[in-house]
Amino acid sequence: MILKKLMEKTGAKLVCGNGDIEIKDLVYDSRKVSEGCVFVCIRGTNFDGHDAAMEAVKNGASAIVSEKDMEEIKETGASLYVCDDTRYALAFMSAAWFGNPAEKLTTIGITGTKGKTTTTYLLKAILEHAGIRCGLIGTIETIIGDEHIPSKNTTPESYILQESFAKMVKAGLSVVVMEVSSQALMQHRTQGFIYDYGIFTNLSPDHIGVGEHSSFEDYLECKSRLFKQCRIGIANGDDEHFKAVTEGHTCELETYGLGAGCDIRATDLKLDKTAGNLGVDFIVNILNRGAHDNNTDSAGRSDSLDIRIPTPGRFSVYNALCAIAVCRHFDITDGDIKEALAVSHVKGRIEKVKVSEDFTLLIDYAHNAMALESILTTLREYDPARLICLFGCGGNRARSRRYEMGEVSGRLSDLTIITSDNPRFEEPLDIIADIKTGISKTEGKYVEIPDRKEAIRYAIKNGKKGDIIVLAGKGHEDYQEIKGVKYPMDERVLIKEILEEEGIRV
């Protein structure tokens, strides 16, 4: 590709060299520099790509994209482009490099503190149930047809994102639904294209600290950028930060929620407490059709539909309602929406694992106090005989999280089983001691079993009729990180092994 064509929408200026040269590769990792490539200098947490610019030229790079004028590059004969933000430039360069694949897809981006992962899977389930081939990019994985690629980041770097889009186009997919993290918006990973639909689930303090956001205000502002990068915005109208997040939006805007005034509203919520169930029934009312909403004559849909979901709580209703709000923009029948939602499950998100006819066991990703309080409060509404919470905390993270999670579980659970999570470079017993400090502020009962498999065995063997047991913290993760090594550990596998070892048939 011709260099100046690649740089066309970046706002970068050619300082020296020739913009008409042919570029053989686009590289932002100095370890991957190849002959005839353009190297983009990215400032990372631990390494600044600008420090590798000269080495890149020596290793064959024909051009450098930088945030500063570099005299040493001028003397090499290589081309040098200078811009304000190389991550921003990389996003547009990546889109051009892969032939602007987002233009060939219907793109759906979901941002928010909670609910992103679940909502992406619900959307994919509904779309594919209706015969619409859909790719997915998120916290757990990237899905392209039958290919499942484990994720390193919720939202990948712009080059990988555009590469994934291109693969989806090649695979014949027509829609992509993806999680959009605040970090990605802050670092311009999702620049280079406009989302067809930008979705906001909710907002609460998170990801604030060193290497993340400097303040809640910064976190909110980054989230709000999605509504300046999409054509149609669909937002949770009930969230207390709704107005702030959507302020200055440049898109058409629709709302969903439980409150009066939302364009798509859920009413008449009823918990399904029948034996073995933890679902919710509710009615969806379309109160205000969007300009692009398909009418009943094209999809045979009404302005009201009864919905049943197999997962508990108001947050599950919000996730489903969000998915419905998006799907009303596609040629999808009410029947397809209802059927898909009735059976949809997301790995590691309130995931039910059958171990007994007498009690219910769930796996959930809740790994901070806010998420743990949400899931435990929700499960308490289903009137369990006992609510049992098994969890640990990650090492080399804020100790305050351990105190907080201990206090939450001690206050809301009938029994806490304290165990290990990802101790990383800390000692598991030191982490457990901090959790116990939090529990000591309550009157909650607890047992301490550091080995996670043995802790799960204890929970299963001591489960009683009517109990709800939640294994919190690991969710979709299939490893345990100890001393820098990730060892295979999937709670589903552990449960299967325990059932076999104990001779329990389900």
Domains of the chain: 3-97 (3.40.1390.10), 101-343 (3.40.1190.10), 351-502 (3.90.190.20)
Cβ distance 305 to 265 under 8 Å?
A: no
Question: What pLDDT is attached to residue 288?
Answer: 65
Q: How many residues does the chain have?
A: 506
Average pLDDT over residues 303-330: 96
Confidence of residue 289 (pLDDT cuts 50, 70, 90): low
Average pLDDT over residues 170-177: 98
Dump pLDDT digits (tens) for 213-232: 567 788 889 899 999 999 99
d(CA 146, CA 144): 6
d(CA 161, CA 159): 5
Question: What pLDDT is attached to residue 22?
Answer: 98
Q: Which residue has the tokens 């529990």?
A: 439
Question: What pLDDT is attached to residue 328?
Answer: 94
The amino acid that residue 57 corresponds to is: V
Q: Which of 112, 96, 109 lies closest to 136, judged by CA?
A: 109
Q: Which of 434, 347, 439, 431 lies closest to 389, judged by CA?
A: 439
Question: What pLDDT is attached to residue 189?
Answer: 96
Taking the model in full, what pTM does it have? Answer: 0.92
Dump pLDDT digits (tens) for 87-105: 999 999 999 999 999 999 9
Alpha-carbon torsion (436, 442, 448, 452), positive or negative: negative
Q: What SS3 class is residue 95?
A: helix
DSSP 251: S
Question: What pLDDT is attached to residue 292?
Answer: 44
d(CA 52, CA 42): 10
Residue 294 reports pLDDT greater than 90: no
Q: Which of 27, 181, 173 lies closest to 107, judged by CA?
A: 173
Question: What pLDDT is attached to residue 205?
Answer: 60
Helices 491-502 & 452-461, crossing angle to 10 degrees? Answer: 50
Q: Which helix (H) or strand (E) holds 197?
A: strand 195-200
Structure tokens at 135: 């790719």
Question: What pLDDT is attached to residue 291?
Answer: 42
Dump pLDDT digits (tens) for 428-469: 999 999 999 999 999 999 999 999 999 999 999 999 999 999
Structure tokens at 319: 């996730």
Q: What SS3 class is residue 308?
A: strand
Question: What pLDDT is attached to residue 5?
Answer: 97
Question: What pLDDT is attached to residue 219?
Answer: 82
Q: Which residue has the tokens 């439980």?
A: 258
Mean pLDDT lowest among 6-20, 193-207, 217-231, 266-280: 193-207
